Amino acid sequence: MSDLQPLSPNEARRLYLDARKHELTEDTLEGQDYRLRAFVAWCEEQDLENLNDLTGRDLYTYRVWRREGGYSGEELRNVTLRGDLATIRAFLRFCGEIDAVPEELFTQVPLPQVNHGQDVSETTLDPDRATSILDYLSRYHYASRNHVVMLVLWNTGCRIGALRALDLDDLDLDGERPNANGPALHFVHRPGQGTGLKNDEQSERWNSISEYVAGVIRDYIEGPRVDVTDDHGRAPLVTTPQGRIARSTVRDALYRITRPCWRSEACPHDRDPEDCEATEHGKMSTCPSSRSPHDVRSGRVTAYRLADAPRVVVSDRMDASEQILDKHYDRRSERRRAEQRREHLEGL
């Protein structure tokens, strides 16, 4: 212990993220930052100001705290807890390398076992709900930023990173570029300028959109869009007064507009919107009906598959392998899949 160098949890978090910023995608780095902020918050609760004092018993206490809803306010499923603790293990391995904790301390982070199938999210945005939300946005918030965010995410099935990466120069709203058959959006990998895509250059693609979607985007650009450029002189499609929209802002937008009470619908959870904490800024994700961008993406895949769109076509459009689509995004019930197979095989 005498060879250890004092280091606060928050400073260690900053050093770790800086050390890994060129190794991880922006989405992964942001996820790790969230998990480490939870750990830093726990350290503050425990008055643990120096990582030199961290012990294996502390790590067990932290696991219980996170599992029971510490920081997030919700009990964590095994798969989520495992991801959280895997980040802490990598973080402590790094801390051991810079003499902030004993080198072998990371091995004492207890990882829960995850059974087959438990690593798949159970939530999704039902296609009918998505249609209802878009209808509401079209009627009461036409061409607003939230309308464009939901419209692009739902119609292309893209990830947050791909939505953020779109510039005005990436749009062909009139379908006038070479080989075009209609309006489309071009997702481009620009890692050196803060908008890398999930699978690097392999994620680059054109996604066609309808004339209606193109019209809404055009009206947004000509209307409420804040006319700003980012630090690289690029003109983002979706903006805030500070520049290119942040990932957290996209998530907050989805959590907000997918709550039934936001659309003046009756609460299906018997809550009173007047005193429900899920109506407060920063807590909207606690509404059981709120949905994340990942849920929108899985809902889009499900809608395509319900419409019998070929798996390979959906895979190309969504920038994900057919295996990943089947495991993580397709939410059709087993009975519905069987019925669709029957429709194709009857009479053969």
- Looking up residue 186, the CATH number of its domain turns out to be 1.10.443
Lowest mean pLDDT among 33-37, 49-53, 66-70, 309-313: 309-313
Question: Is 329 part of any domain?
Answer: no
- The residue with tokens 């319900």 is 306
Arithmetic mean of pLDDT, 192-218 = 92
In the prediction, which pLDDT does 327 show? 59
Question: Is 318 part of any domain?
Answer: no
Domain count, the chain: 2
Share of the chain above pLDDT 70, in %: 89
Beta bridge partners of 331: none
Q: How confident is the model at residue 27 (pLDDT cuts 50, 70, 90)?
A: confident
Q: What is the mean pLDDT of the chain?
A: 86
Q: What angle do CA 163, 168, 170 make, to 5 degrees?
A: 70
Q: How confident is the model at residue 25 (pLDDT cuts 50, 70, 90)?
A: confident
Domain hosting 233: range is 127-295
pLDDT of 59 over the 60 cut: yes
Residue 232 identity: H
- Residues 164 and 277 grouped into a single domain: yes
- Residues 191 and 136 grouped into a single domain: yes
- Residues 176 and 273 grouped into a single domain: yes
- Residues 228 and 283 grouped into a single domain: yes
CA within 13 Å, CB half, 279: 12
- Residues 146 and 96 grouped into a single domain: no
In the prediction, which pLDDT does 216 show? 97
Question: Is 313 part of any domain?
Answer: no
In the prediction, which pLDDT does 43 show? 95
- Residues 88 and 52 grouped into a single domain: yes
CA–CA separation, 214 and 193 (whole Å): 26
In the prediction, which pLDDT does 268 show? 87
- Residues 49 and 147 grouped into a single domain: no
In the prediction, which pLDDT does 22 show? 81
CA–CA separation, 318 and 276 (whole Å): 36
Question: Is 82 part of any domain?
Answer: yes
Q: Whose CA is closest to 16, among 93, 71, 84, 82?
A: 93
pLDDT of 41 over the 50 cut: yes
Beta bridge partners of 236: 167
Question: Could you give the C-alpha distances from 223 to 5, 109, 145, 220, in angstroms and in order?
Answer: 55, 51, 10, 5
Arithmetic mean of pLDDT, 152-169 = 94
Q: Are 246 and 200 in contact (CB under 8 A)?
A: no
Question: Is 240 part of any domain?
Answer: yes
Q: How confident is the model at residue 344 (pLDDT cuts 50, 70, 90)?
A: low
CA–CA separation, 103 and 39 (whole Å): 19
Largest Cα separation within the chain, whole Å, is 78
Question: Is 289 part of any domain?
Answer: yes
In the prediction, which pLDDT does 75 show? 78
Token pair listed for 110: 């207890």
Name the range with the highest mean pLDDT among 71-75, 227-231, 312-316. 227-231
pLDDT of 347 over the 60 cut: no
In the prediction, which pLDDT does 158 show? 92
- From 295, 313, 343, give the residue that closes a domain: 295
pLDDT of 235 over the 80 cut: yes
Question: Is 266 part of any domain?
Answer: yes
Q: Are 66 and 38 in contact (CB under 8 A)?
A: yes
- Residues 160 and 68 grouped into a single domain: no
Question: Is 83 part of any domain?
Answer: yes
Q: How confident is the model at residue 244 (pLDDT cuts 50, 70, 90)?
A: very high
In the prediction, which pLDDT does 283 show? 82
- Residues 40 and 178 grouped into a single domain: no
Q: Are 174 and 145 in contact (CB under 8 A)?
A: no
- Residues 233 and 165 grouped into a single domain: yes
CATH number of the domain bearing residue 81? 1.10.150.130
- Residues 283 and 138 grouped into a single domain: yes
Question: pLDDT (tens digit, 9 = 90+) per residue, 111-153?
Answer: 876 554 444 445 788 888 999 999 999 999 999 999 999 999 9
- Residues 217 and 69 grouped into a single domain: no
Alpha-carbon 233 to chain mean position: 26
